[in-house]
Chain A
C-alpha cells in the first residue's frame, strides 16, 4: 500500500461539447466557485460535436482567476510538440502558472487520420510521445540557449524556437494504461492520469499499474513520488446508479477517495458527469472531508 504524500487536488473532467457553446466555460466557473483546484477537458479534435480543446482551455483560463486547467488528455498526434510547448507556455504565463499538460499518445487513430494526423501503431505512439516530451521540456528549459535542433525517428526540428518563459516547469501528466506507457510514465512523467473505468482488474489492477510506474521510476533514477497519481472518474454520481466507483451519497465518496489516497497513493481526483450540483458538493463537502481524513491519517 502506497501513499506518496502528495498534497490532494480535486477537480472536474468536463466534456468539451460545442453546443451549448458556453457549456465548458460555465462548468469551469462552477468548478472554480466550488473551490476545486483543476478543470480538465477531453481532447478529441475529430469529434465534430466538440470544441477545440486547446482554444477552450485558453479561454477558460482567461475567464477564471484561481483554478488550473489541463487537457485530459491532449492528443499528441494532432498537436505536434513544439507548437504544443509554445501554446502551453503562453497560457501558463498569461494565467500566472495555471496550466498543466495532460497528454496522451493518441487514441482513435482512424479519427486522427481522418483529421489529417499521422496514424501510428501503438508501439510507435509510445515512442513518439517519449520523443515529444523530450522536445517539449527542451523548448521550455530556461537554461538552454540558442536554437532548438532535434533529429529523431518521429520528429525533426531545425533551428526551432524555444519558448523561454514557462512560468516554471509545467507538470506533464501522461494518460496511460498498458505496460509500455506505464513504463514511460514512471520514467519521464510528472504525473499519471488514467480513468478508473479503463483500468483493468479493479483495485488490484490499480496497484499493479502503480508498481509498474514505481519500478520504471526507480530504473530511471527517480523517486516514485516524482510521479503524481491522478484519477478520472467518468461516472461519478451522488445518486446511486449501480455504476461507477463513486456512486452514492457524499459519505461513500469520502470513504472511497480516502482509501484511494492512503492505500493507492492517488492524490488528484477528477470527476466527470458535467453536473453543476455534483461538482459543487464535490468541492464544498467532499473535498474538505477527504483532505481532513488524509491529513489525520498522515499525522
Chain B
C-alpha cells in the first residue's frame, strides 16, 4: 500500500533525515514528508532528498501564517509558492501533488494495513520515523495490497485517491458516467481544470454523452448542493463560470454532433459541445452559416443560451434569433423540448438566461444563406483615442447592415493606441467590400491590413484548436460589459480617459443594430435590442475596474452576462431589466425552484428573497454562513 514517512527536521540532523529518506526509498516507500522549522530547514532537506534519490516523492506542510516583514523568521507566501513550483519543475513527479492529503499515523511494529488505512481516513498514511529500524519495520505495510476499486469503476492509485476533494461522493458517480469522470488525481485533470481565461481546480468533471447521462449528472449535482457547480460546453466563457475550485463541472463537450434536419428550411440540429468553428465548417458546403460571436473556439451551448453578438449579427441577428427549438434537461432531471409551440416559456427563458434553467442537449437552428464575405483584420495606430472611438461609433452604426465591425484596443504605449478592427462585410462583391471598409481607415494610421474574400469558416478559423493539454487560463478574469445605446462624444471622452490609465488592457466595442433590432425586446429573455454597441473592458484589478466602470454607468443600458464578472447583486438587473427578471424569477420558481443552476448570473426563484441574488460561489458561501 502507499505509505509515507514523516521526517522531523527539529529532532534530527539534515544528513540523518536524507539518509532515512534513502532507506525509505530502498524499502519501497513512496513519500517523505519533512516537517519542522526550528533546526534544519525542512524545505532544503526535502529538495536535497529529490536530488539524491530516484523515486520517492517529497512534501513539506504549507506554512499558513501571514508574512511579517519584521519577523526575521517569517516567509513571504509568494516566495514559498515559487519554491514549490521550482522544485516541481526541477524534479518532475518527485513532489507530492499539492492537493494530495496525508495523515500522520503512529503505526507500531504489528500494525495491520486495515487499521493503518482506517486511521488515515481519506489521506495517505504517513508514519513518523526516527531510525532506519523504524523504516524497515514498515515493510509489511508497504507490501500490503491496495483495496480494490468498486466494481465497474476505473482503478485509481492511492496517490490519485488522496487528491479527492471533500464534499464529493466520488463513489456515488452514476455507473455510466464513472468511466469518463475526471478527478483531481487523474492525468487528464490538468487538461480539463482551467478554461480559456480562468484558472480552475474542479473536484470532479462529469462528461455525459447522452440525454440520460446528462440527467444522471444533474441528479449527482442535486446531491452536491454545497460545492460550486458549473456547466461547460467548450470552456471559452469570459466570466469563467464553467470551472471552479473544488466544485462539480458537467461538461457536455462530447455532445458535439451536427445533422441537417430539413434542407429546404435550412434546419440543423447541433449538440452543445460543438465549437462554432466546426459548425461553420459543417454548414459551408450547403452555402449556409450561423452567426456566432467572433471566435471559433466558443462552444454552441454557452453562446446559444446567452445571446451571440457576432460578426454577422447586423445582417442576420443574434445567434439566438436563429434558434427554432432547444432540448434541455431540467433541474429535476426531466428532458424537455422547447420551441414557440412546445413549452414556449422555457423557450423564451433559454434564449438569454439558459444557464439558469437546465443543461441544453440539442439546439435546432434555422441557418442563414451566407456565401463569400469580406473578412478584414485592420490594425491602426491612434494618437487620439477619443476621436477614434467617436468616429468609429458614427461609422460603424451608420454602415449598411451587411457590415459589422468590432473594435479592440487597450493601454496606450508612448501616447499611442493600437486599434484593431475585425470586420465582416456580407457581400460577395470585393469592390463593395472595399467601399464599406474604406471609411474605417480614417480612425488612425493604418499599420497592417488583411482583407480576404472567404466563406464564414475562414472567419471562424481564427481559433486555434485546443490540444491535449486543454486550456490553461489562470487566476480570475476581471471583465465588465455594458450595452451602449449610442456612442456619444461624452462616452468617447470618458472611455478615452479610462484607456489613458494603465487599468484596462483589453477594450472592445461590438457594433450592434441592424437585424438585432428587428426582434421585439420581449420576445425572449435577452431583451437588449436597441443599443448600438456592446462594450467590454478587462483589467487585472477587480476593485479598480469596478470604480472606473461605475463612473461610466450613465452611458450604459444593461450588460451582456457572458462578458461580465462583477458579482454584485445589482448586476442581475442590468442583465435582465425589471419585467424580464420578474418573469424569469417566476419561471425559475417553476422549473428550478431549489436554484440548482446557480453559478452563472443566479436568478433567485420568485419566492426566495432578492438578497440571495449574488451569483454562484458567493451565494453558496452566503447560504452556508446563514
Hey, which bits of chain A sit against chain B, CB under 8 A? 18, 21-22, 25, 45, 51-52, 54-56, 58-59, 61-63, 77-83, 86-87, 89-91, 93-94, 115-118, 132, 135, 150, 154-157, 160-161, 163, 165
CB distance from B247 to the nearest CB of A (A): 28
The answer to whether A62 touches B52, judged by C-beta atoms less than 8 angstroms apart, is: yes
The answer to whether A117 touches B40, judged by C-beta atoms less than 8 angstroms apart, is: no
The answer to whether B72 touches A81, judged by C-beta atoms less than 8 angstroms apart, is: yes
The answer to whether B72 touches A116, judged by C-beta atoms less than 8 angstroms apart, is: no
The answer to whether A86 touches B41, judged by C-beta atoms less than 8 angstroms apart, is: yes
Stretch in B79-87, B459-467, B551-559 touching the partner: B79-87
Q: Could you name 25 residue pairs across A and B whose Cβ atoms are closer than 8 Å?
A: A18-B86, A22-B90, A45-B78, A45-B79, A51-B86, A54-B83, A55-B83, A55-B87, A56-B90, A59-B48, A61-B51, A62-B50, A62-B51, A77-B69, A80-B74, A87-B43, A91-B48, A93-B14, A93-B40, A94-B48, A154-B70, A155-B71, A156-B71, A157-B71, A157-B72
Q: Given A52-B85, A83-B41 in contact, is the A62-B72 Cβ separation under 8 Å?
A: no
Q: Given A62-B47, A62-B48, A161-B38 in contact, is the A25-B79 Cβ separation under 8 Å?
A: no
The answer to whether A83 touches B73, judged by C-beta atoms less than 8 angstroms apart, is: yes
Tell me the nearest residue of chain B to A156, going by C-beta: B70
The answer to whether A90 touches B76, judged by C-beta atoms less than 8 angstroms apart, is: no
Q: Given A62-B48, A116-B67 in contact, is the A86-B75 Cβ separation under 8 Å?
A: no
Tell me the nearest residue of chain B to A16, going by C-beta: B86
The answer to whether A94 touches B72, judged by C-beta atoms less than 8 angstroms apart, is: no
B331 at the interface (CB under 8 A from A): no
B contact residues around A25 at 8 Å (CB): 90
Taken together as a complex, chains A and B put the C-alpha atoms of A78 and B52 apart, in Å, by 28
Count of inter-chain pairs, beta carbons less than 8 A = 125
CB distance from B581 to the nearest CB of A (A): 41
CB distance from A55 to the nearest CB of B (A): 4
Q: Given A51-B86, A161-B38 in contact, is the A80-B75 Cβ separation under 8 Å?
A: yes
Task: State which residues 9-48 of B face A: CB under 8 Å.
Answer: 13-15, 18, 37-41, 43-45, 47-48
The answer to whether A51 touches B69, judged by C-beta atoms less than 8 angstroms apart, is: no
The answer to whether A90 touches B72, judged by C-beta atoms less than 8 angstroms apart, is: no
B167 at the interface (CB under 8 A from A): no
CB distance from A71 to the nearest CB of B (A): 13
Interface string of B324-340 (1 = CB under 8 A from A): 00000000000000000
The answer to whether A80 touches B71, judged by C-beta atoms less than 8 angstroms apart, is: yes
Q: Given A83-B75, A116-B77, A157-B73 in contact, is the A18-B40 Cβ separation under 8 Å?
A: no
Q: Given A52-B82, A83-B75, A116-B78 in contact, is the A91-B44 Cβ separation under 8 Å?
A: yes
B contact residues around A87 at 8 Å (CB): 41, 43-44
Interface string of B103-130 (1 = CB under 8 A from A): 0000000000000000000000000000
| Chain B, interface residues (CB within 8 Å), range | 35 or more
Taken together as a complex, chains A and B put the C-alpha atoms of A90 and B12 apart, in Å, by 12
The answer to whether B76 touches A165, judged by C-beta atoms less than 8 angstroms apart, is: no
B contact residues around A77 at 8 Å (CB): 69
Option from B15, B85, B87 in Cβ contact (under 8 Å) with A94: B15
CB distance from B45 to the nearest CB of A (A): 7
- If A45-B78, A87-B43 are given as contacts, then 4 extra A-B residue pairs at C-beta distance below 8 Å, sorted by A number, are A58-B47, A58-B51, A94-B15, A165-B13
Q: Given A18-B89, A21-B89, A87-B41 in contact, is the A80-B48 Cβ separation under 8 Å?
A: no
The answer to whether A116 touches B76, judged by C-beta atoms less than 8 angstroms apart, is: yes
The answer to whether B73 touches A160, judged by C-beta atoms less than 8 angstroms apart, is: yes
The answer to whether A90 touches B40, judged by C-beta atoms less than 8 angstroms apart, is: yes
